[in-house]
Structures are given as C-alpha cells and as structure tokens.
Amino acid sequence: MSEKEKNNDSAKINFEDLSTIFESNLKIYNQYLESFKNLGVNQSNISPFNFNNQGSKNFTINDLSNLIAPTITKMMESFKSFSTEIQQNPNIYFDHLNRWISQIANLNFYFITRASGGIANPVILEEKTDKRFSNEEWKSNLFFDFIKQFYLISTNFLSNLIENVEFKNPKDKRLMQFYLKQLNSALSPSNFVFTNPEVLKRTIEEKGNNLNKGYENYRKDFEKHPNKLFIQQSKDGGFEVGKNLATTKGKVIFKNNLFELIQYDCATDKQYSKPMLVIPPFINKYYIMDLNEKKSMMKFLVDNKFNTFLISWKNPDSNSRNLSFKEYIESGILEAIKVTCEQTGSLSINIASYCVGGTLASLTLAYIKNIPSKYKITSATYFASLIDFEDPGEIGVFITEEQIKSIEEQMKKTGYFDGKDMAAAFNFLRPGDLYWNYVVNNYLLGNEPTAFDMLHWNSDSTRLPEKMHSEYLRCMYLNNLVVKNMYKIGDVEIDLSKIDTPMFSVATTEDHIAPWRSVYQGLGYYNSHINFVLSNSGHIAGIIQGVENKPGKLYYYSAKFEKNKNPDEWYTVAKKFDGSWWQTWSSWLAIYSGELKKPSELNRKVYETLYEAPGKYVRE
C-alpha cells in the first residue's frame, strides 16, 4: 500500500461506530421522554424513535460513507489549497486578522458602553433581507445583540479572507466559498436554543415541550426519507393534485411508458391554429406549470387563445434504468409532437420548455436537423434552461469525477437516482432559506410548516433513470460536450449552430440552478433570432409569477439577442419594465401561432379521451 493510500485509509470515517453512537443517543432520548412524564408535559404526540441502521433495503451505512466520501475528500483538498495560498501570502491573512481584532475590540467597547447605560452605534448590521435576526430581541437585548454582532464580524472575516486570496485553480475558490457558506449557515446563533431569543422564550414558556414536538417532527422526517437530509417544508395535507393543484381543465389523450399527453380544454370562442406543446422538467412533477389559478401558466395560455398541450412525465422506477436522452427525444418529445399535430391537423407547432426540459428541447431541435420530420417546430420558448454548462453556478461543486462515480455505484443498485437527493443538494445551495430556517421552525420551535404550494411541489420530486442521469452528469455538467459539438444522440451528431428556430428565452436574476449569465452565454451557440428576458427573483418565482403587477416585480427585455455582447454589456442597455413578462411573451408567441379559428375546426379528435386531467402519472 502506498503512503497516499495509507493516509486516505486512515482518514476514513468509521460509520459503524457513528451508527452505534447514534443509537446510544436515541436510547438517551427515549429515556428523556420517560422523565418528562413526571413534569406534567403532554406526551400524547411524542413517540419513541426507532432507528434501523440499514435505513432501507437499498441503503446501508457503508453506502452513506461511500456517497459522502468524495465530498469530504474535496473539502479537505480545498482547505489544503487555501492553507497553501495563505502560507505563501501571509500578509493577506494578518491584514484581515488585524481588522477582525479591531472590530472585536470595538464590539467590546460597544458592549461595555451599553451595559453602563450609555449609547453606542453597532459595529456591524445584518442585511435587511436576513430573516434570521428579525426578532426585536436581537437588537434590544444586549446579550443577543453581542452574540449576533460577534457572529457577523467573524463570518465577514472568513468570507473576505477567502475572497481576497488568489487561488491557482478558480474552482478551489468557489469550493471554499461554498463550504464556508455551509459552515456559516450551520453555526448561526439562530440555530441553537440558548442563543436564539425566540426559541429560548418558547422553551421556557412550554417547559421544553416545543423541543419534544420538534424531535417528533424530526422523527417523522427521518422515517419518511432515511439518510436524505429531508425536512418537511410545507404542511402535509394542505394540497392535493386535481383539487387545489393542477386544476386547469383538460383531458389525457395519449400515454406510453414515458409520458401522458394532456390537451387542455378551450376557454375562448377562437384559438390559434398552431398548437403549443409545453415540456416541463422531468426532475419534478409538471404541475409547477399549473400551480393555482393566479399562477397557472396553462390557464394563462388557454385564456389567451393558445391550443395548449402538455407532457406529464412518468416517474421512472428500476425498470426504466436503460432509458437515455435518445428515448426521451424519440419516444418523448417527438412522439408528443406527432400526436399533437395529428390531433389538431397542423403540420407545425410551438414548444415551450422549462429547466432540463429546455435542455431536452434543444437536443431535439438539433436532432431533427439530421432526422427529418414532417412536422415543423415554428418557435421555441425556454424558461431558465441551460445548454452551456461551463459555469452551472454553485451546483458545480457537486460535479466531480469522484462524486459521479459514487452516484453511479448507488444507481446500479436501484436503477434510478432518487430526486430527494437532488432536492437536498439544491436546498444546500441556499442553506439559510431552504434548510436552517426550517430546522429552527420545525425542530426547535416545534411548529408545523405552513402550507405553501411551491414548496409542496418542490418536495414532490421524481426519480431519474440510471442511464439518462449518468449521461446528463457526464456529458453536460462534467464535460460540457453539447456546446463543443462532441455529443451524439445515437449516431446523430448534435450541432446547435444548425438550429435557426425563433426563440424566446427567460432567465432569472437569483437563479441558483440555471445562473442567468450562463443561460445568456448559451444562446450564442444557436443561429436563431432570440428575444431575451431577465426576470427578477429565482428559478421558480421568476418564471411562475402570474400576471399581477405586484411591487418589486420587474424584468429586463431586449427583442434581439446580440452575440457580440457579454451578459453584463447586455444588462446595461436592456430596457427595464415593471410587472410580469408573461404578456410580452404572449404577444411574441401570437406572431408564430397562425390564424384564429373556431375550436371545432382545430380538434380532429384523432385521439379520444383516456381520462380527465391531471392524469395518473402525476399522482405516482
């Protein structure tokens, strides 16, 4: 065994020992519950935690070790690189350390002055958008104010230090920033009972019963999805598909082993003759496009005279392990186009796609340049979709050869990648908003999460076929083969420059999954006339926003994408508009949708109704 292998072997964590420690702690917890009976605390809703260290028949402690080992290794490599850079440039460290010491000294002076009844200005203020410190006690109570400021000064010290260190490999810097964000978020004083005034007050008032209710919430989360870092973000039972989600009227007219096709009912006296096919992502259920009446894109399209069809993807299981992008194109999108055109009598169609559905749509457009089809795609709309994966944002920290190999080893056992794992990864791209605030609310305060449709959808994830997901990670995220003209669908070479279909592309300013600059950069590989919109807000809220003109809702728009302008140059000259971009898109789409006709002239009923929307696949 080499010296390196010995070091790696000695650094491995013994998860069997950790499992024993965890079980011992759970025994202590169950004894703790028994002791509370003597204090008169209500125990009716609290039950002992039964832990099975196998998690599930497909997931063991060793699997957990293997799954996170690449991440731990990468963390250690990043810290080593950071340490090396600091040693070579010690002045950077000491400059920031001296600044930190100076601020801590000022904080001590601030504390003494206020404790003596004097008036002093805070050394540091939290961001206005930082909800962790919204409770008044963080300002009025000197103890909590001191803790908050000490935390903010220290996290700023670390963040600024990493920002000013020059790394030989820029990716190491991004990795360090990501890991530091996780550390800073986890160590926030708001996450602990005795340093969070709201939690401490609740604990005293309820004699600790809030912590018991919180642990019960944790127990339920763990039993639902062992080893997935799952935390309930939306109240159970608050939403039901077909009842208060996905309620736009329609009919399933076709199904195969990949998708159901929904044709939405006409809501106007006339419709455009060229149909619209909507391609949602296959990572989550389609009903993000039909969330509620005010934010339903499907209802918006139908109300604006578009003859609308939508793909509802089937949730894959182990029998789907060999499905690849080729099947999703040929038996998925192209089959849906064929059915839609036969149903309407049109030889051309518009498509709209979201997230990875957009990546799939682009591959399809390039594919049919080599495999001729009798049906033409007249226009293509993209919502927050990447085709250039050179800079996929913070999610890139999860994309390494070692990590992908680990995921592939796990998929060999199941035949699919569990969407819960991807949801957990996405949550930790915004740890404060999507994880730790729920830890405080659900586990420390003992509250139930509120009912929120977007978060309910976010937790309703789907699986991804083994072959397709491996292809997605390797060919796109890891090697970015599509824009390099090095990617094939079967024997068909994918060349984006052959695509000349008119496009309407939408990106969002706060997108942590499809960063807007990367979305914009990818448009340069097409040979199309492109209208580009930059909507404020995030990956979901910036797209599924409805048409109401609420305060703060705005977008930037240009009617012609110019390849010679980089994203920031475009931003400086783009026109700014208040409100929703949906109407702008509708006006653009109408140009490519043909003449208006009566619904009876457009629906040939080649395919009869199988059952009513939202269908069966969305409920699986």
User: Confidence band (pLDDT; 50, 70, 90) for 45?
Assistant: very low
Q: What is the mean pLDDT of residues 143-150?
A: 94
pLDDT for 70 equals: 59
Rounded Cα distance, 165 and 3, in Å: 30
pTM of the model: 0.82
Provide the mean pLDDT of the chain.
86
431, 491, 512, 564 from 436: Cα distances, Å: 6, 47, 17, 42
Please compute the mean of the pLDDT values over residues 127-137 and round it to a whole number: 92
- For residue 346 the two structure tokens come to 């049109």
Buried b / exposed e over 259-287, threshold 16 CB at 10 Å, is: bbbbbbebbeeebbbbbbbbbbbbbbbbb
User: Would you state the structure tokens that stand for residue 227, as one six-digit string?
Assistant: 């080893």
User: Can you tell me the distance from the alpha carbon of 51 to that of 53, in angstroms, rounded to the nearest whole number?
Assistant: 6
Residue pair 240/430 in contact by the 8 Å Cβ criterion: no
Please name every residue paired with 255 in a beta bridge, in sequence order, or none if there are none.
260
Confidence band for 47, pLDDT divided at 50, 70 and 90: very low
Q: What is the pLDDT of residues 150-160, one digit of tens each?
A: 999 999 999 99
Q: How far apart are CA 508 and CA 541, in angstroms?
A: 9
pLDDT at 73 over 90: no
pLDDT at 170: 78
Confidence band, pLDDT 50/70/90 cuts, at residue 27:
low
- Look up residue 77 and give its amino acid: E
Give the type of residue at 17.
D
Q: Predicted confidence band at 403 (pLDDT cuts at 50, 70, 90)?
A: confident
Query: What is the number of helices (H) and of strands (E) in the chain?
Result: 23, 17
CA angle 349–352–358, rounded 5-degree value: 120
Per-residue model confidence (pLDDT) at position 33: 45
DSSP state of 474: I
Is the pLDDT at 1 greater than 70, yes or no? no
Q: Catalytic residue, from 266, 341, 355, 475: name it.
A: 355
Residue of higher predicted confidence among 196 and 33: 196
CB 290 within 8 Å of CB 311:
no
Q: What percent of the chain has pLDDT over 70?
A: 86
Place of tokens 């999460």: 449
Q: At which residue do the structure tokens 């963040």 appear?
A: 159
Predicted confidence at residue 31, as pLDDT, reads 52
Question: Where does the pLDDT of residue 35 fall: very low under 50, low under 70, confident under 90, or very high at 90 and above?
Answer: very low
How deeply is 474 buried, as exposed, middle or buried, from its count of CB atoms within 10 A (0-12, 13-18, 19+)?
middle
Beta bridge partners of 495: none
Question: Comparing 383-397, 463-477, 505-519, which segment has the lowest mean pLDDT?
Answer: 383-397
- 214-242 tens-digit pLDDT: 999 999 888 887 766 778 887 877 889 99
- Strand (E) or helix (H) holding 276: strand 276-279
Contact between 228 and 421 (Cβ < 8 Å): yes
Pairing of strands 611-612, 250-255: antiparallel
For residue 560, the tally of other CB atoms under 10 A from its CB is 8
Q: What is the pLDDT of residue 22?
A: 43
What DSSP string runs through 52-107?
-TT-BTTB-HHHHHHHHHHHHHHHHHHHHHHHHHHHH-HHHHHHHHHHHHHHHHHH
Q: pLDDT for 478-524, tens place per residue? A: 999 999 999 999 999 999 999 999 999 999 999 989 999 999 999 99
Q: In whole angstroms, give the CA distance from residue 246 to residue 292.
A: 7
What is the rounded distance in angstroms from the CA atom of residue 94 to the CA atom of residue 301? 59
Residue 279, SS3 per DSSP: strand
Tell me how far CA of residue 93 lies from CA of 98, 150, 157, 321, 566, in angstroms.
Answer: 9, 19, 10, 50, 34
Structure tokens that stand for 113 in this block: 């002055």
Q: What is the mean pLDDT of residues 407-433?
A: 80
> CA dihedral in degrees (26, 31, 32, 37; nearest 10)?
140
- One-character DSSP codes across 303-347: HTT--EEEEEE----GGGTT--HHHIIIIIIHHHHHHHHHHHT-S
Taking residues 125-146, what's their average pLDDT? 93
- pLDDT, residue 323, reads 97
Lowest pLDDT segment from 119-123, 366-370, 406-410, 585-589: 406-410
Q: Is the pLDDT of residue 429 over 80?
A: no
Please report the pLDDT score of residue 358 as a whole number: 97
Residue 474's identity, in one-letter code, is: R
Parallel, antiparallel, or unpaired: how do β-strands 492-493 and 348-354 relate? Answer: unpaired
Most confident segment among 2-16, 264-278, 441-455, 596-610: 264-278
Distance of CA 281 to the CA centre of its chain: 12
pLDDT band at 138 (very low <50, low <70, confident <90, very high): very high
pLDDT given at position 66: 57
Confidence of residue 69 (pLDDT cuts 50, 70, 90): low
Q: Which residue has the higher pLDDT, 592 or 80?
A: 592
In the DSSP assignment, the letter for residue 45 is T
Dihedral angle at the C-alpha atoms of 130, 135, 141, 143, nearest 10 degrees? -50
Cα 533 from Cα 520, distance rounded (Å):
10
pLDDT above 90 for 389: yes
10 Å CB burial of residue 90 (0-12, 13-18, 19+) is: exposed
Unique residue bearing structure tokens 């790696």: 8
**355 has catalytic annotation:** yes
* CA quadruple 426, 427, 428, 431: dihedral, nearest 10: 150
List Cβ neighbours of 618 (8 Å cut-off, separation of 6 or more).
Answer: 241, 246, 260, 285, 286, 287, 312
Alpha helices in 440-598 (DSSP H): 453-459, 466-471, 516-522, 567-573, 582-591
